[in-house]
Amino acid sequence: MNRKKIAHNRIKILVVDDSPATLEVIQRNLEAAGYGVFTAPGVEPAIAFLEQNSVDLVITDIKMPKISGLELLKYVKENVKGTEIMIITGYPSITGAVEAVKDGAEDYLVKPFTDEELLSAVSKMLEKLANRRAVEAKPLPSSHNIIGNSPGMQHVYRLIEKAAATRVNVLISGESGTGKELVARAIHYSSKTASGPFVTVNCTAIPDSLLESELFGHVKGAFTGAQASRAGFFQIADGGTLFLDEIGDASLSMQGRLLRAIQNKEIFMVGSSRVQKVDTRIIAATNTDLKRLVKKGLFREDLYFRLNVVEISLPPLHERGEDILLLVQLFMEKLSKDMKRPTPRFSDKVLQVFRNYRWQGNVRELENLVQRLVVLVDGDFIDVTDLPEQMRFNLNWRKGLNRPLAEVEAEHIANVLNSVKGNKTRAAGILEIDRKTLREKIRRANLPTDTG
């Protein structure tokens, strides 16, 4: 057994083969790529090693003296958790390779293989391992239903902690669906005034005619229909937090009234000349660029500075790769519990699509998709074919990034022709080129010409 001392945070790989030359080549290439490598000349020493040590990946030959690599495969699957297996084999053993994959090996590599083929196969295996570990992981302790272990969210947690320790105003920015209200609630319920009220105001939902009454309240008889005094949002939130959601959509009239109340910490109820002091902490949220609105004259600069004492910018979901799979797992577990169904499994391709998808609606879109899959997909396995069409297109588009332009163009032309049943006039119209250009492109791409 060759056991080199390796750093604890490196990927650890055990290579098992009865050929010293093969072991040397694989070890040299993997160590050059930065992996920590152990080697074993057969199944028995490999099992002895695994009984005392943990590795991320086992690479084993199938045909070896005394004990087959298939026996090692079975041992790992039954006794070693969290470790992936890849087999290597000669051409005569393809049947054995297929059998091994069916028995639990993730992939196989056929001898002879190049250095590039080895490193590519190992990289793909470790990506699968990372995906599985992500969905099996539990979130770091975080309060108020905010989920995420990514560096971007760790930074958000630190800002929440700092904001909660004070009573200063906070501006939360982020795309729709990133969890701005969750962050606002986390700040409030982590603060010294957590026992006070948390009041949400949708700034787009209050018409100008009702602004002052809704924000500051009114006394009895203040206007027609005011049959009793009524507190406004500022009074209701006194001693707690007033959350101004979508502040970027507030009218200039509303902005002016908010500025005076926030700046002076006092209000006048409609129909009253008596000043009321309010101790209300303001947290505002927006999915628009307020600086840009200020430059355009659509948002008051003085109000912007009053609100933006502490700014918390929430990262979009597509920048939180490791959080996506964690969120998927949590949503699936919750839904499966509610529906009394086992948690479905995702194929590795689906998890890859999730990590690469843009997620315009962020966490909200992801949760809705998971709900739809749980309801509509039969069985306990979800594959790429179960995903919405736009997500499958996203996968095909990304594959195209590594393909020559001519190949991608030829495939697109073929798809358009198929969609119009070979009608070249219609195809040329869709492609926004003339028929002559289309015929030339068909000729160059060697596409069938007997379809219209």
CATH code at 416?
A: 1.10.10.60
User: Taking the model in full, what pTM does it have?
Assistant: 0.59
146 within some domain = no
- 380 and 368 in a single domain? The answer is yes
- 202 and 73 in a single domain? The answer is no
Domain count, the chain: 4
What CATH number did the domain enclosing 39 receive? 3.40.50.2300
Which pLDDT score, from 0 to 100, does residue 450 have? 57
24 within some domain = yes
245 within some domain = yes
Reported as a pLDDT band with limits 50, 70 and 90, residue 135 is low
Reported as a pLDDT band with limits 50, 70 and 90, residue 448 is confident
- 259 and 273 in a single domain? The answer is yes
The residue out of 80, 110, 136 marking a domain boundary is: 136
- 124 and 11 in a single domain? The answer is yes
Of 63 and 161, the structure prediction assigns the larger pLDDT to: 161
Q: What is the mean pLDDT of residues 97-110?
A: 56
- 236 and 355 in a single domain? The answer is no
145 within some domain = no
Which domain, by its residues, includes 208? Answer: 151-313
95 within some domain = yes
Q: Tens of pLDDT along 381-435?
A: 888 888 887 777 655 545 544 456 677 678 778 878 877 778 888 888 888 888 8
378 within some domain = yes
452 within some domain = no
- 209 and 231 in a single domain? The answer is yes
Pairing relation of β-strands 198-202 and 241-245?
Answer: parallel
- 50 and 18 in a single domain? The answer is yes
